[in-house]
Amino acid sequence: MEKLKKADKIIAFISAIRLIPHIILFNIHHRKHIIKYDVNRWLKCLHIFGVGNQYGFIHLLTFYPDYRNLFYYRIGIFKYFINWLCPKMNTLFLRTGEIGPGLFIQHGYATGVGAKSIGKDCWINQQVTIGWADETGSPTLGDNVVISAGAIVIGKIHLGNNSFVGANSFVKKDVPENCTVVGVPAYICKRNGIKVKEKL
């Protein structure tokens, strides 16, 4: 459990002045329920507890540029009017048709997310590439999918619910649910919690 420093709280409250338009959208936007779900998920993943939605939202926007990208994705066209007040991470790209609630991006540096859709409560690390292999399409991610640092996931493939892609893996085939894949090219090293070694 992370205890917020007094200095961080002071900085966040000062930051709230520039975030007034963001706070208004947080409370009135038609996607506010998803935005609040995102905030709670990020706070949980960052082990920040005991703060409310409002302060949590301000804290994330103040200290986590990668969260800003997700928030701006959620609010659509409104981002063009307010993102200059709190700049997003310029090396994180979210070019996905539909992102389910609770996407957590840990250290989103040099990450491109070009999936067709992403399910609920997924986790993406830094230097990940998700996107097109050719004109046939891009990946679909189920719920609770984790993609570790440096992984490449491309093509018209499906990653099943609760699948885990290991660091620096290269995935170009469907991944069954409840499986862990590693390697280049990726293979299944764990299925339903049991160690295996299977081709995709």
Instruction: Find where tokens 């703060």 sit.
Output: 51
- Give the pLDDT confidence score for residue 95 in this predicted structure: 95
3-state class of 196 per DSSP?
Answer: strand
Model pTM? 0.94
Going residue by residue through the chain (200 aa), what tens digit of pLDDT does each one get? 456 788 888 999 999 999 999 999 999 999 999 999 999 999 999 999 888 899 999 999 999 999 999 999 999 999 999 999 999 999 999 999 999 999 999 999 999 999 999 999 999 999 999 999 888 799 999 999 999 999 999 999 999 999 999 999 999 999 999 999 999 999 999 999 999 999 99
Q: Which domains does the chain have, with CATH numbers?
A: 6-82 (no CATH), 92-199 (2.160.10.10)
Determine the Cα angle at 67 with ends 113 and 183, to 5°.
Answer: 40
How many residues in total does the chain contain? 200
Of 59, 48, 108, 46, which is closest to residue 86 (Cα–Cα)? 59
d(CA 168, CA 181): 11
- Give the pLDDT confidence score for residue 2 in this predicted structure: 57
Query: In sequence order, what are the beta bridge partners of 141?
Result: 118, 159
- Give the pLDDT confidence score for residue 133 in this predicted structure: 86
Asked if residue 26 lies in contact with residue 57, where contact means CB atoms within 8 angstroms, the answer is yes
Of 103, 112, 126, 134, which is closest to residue 38 (Cα–Cα)? 103
Output helix, strand, coil percentages for the chain, rounded to the nearest 5: 30, 25, 45
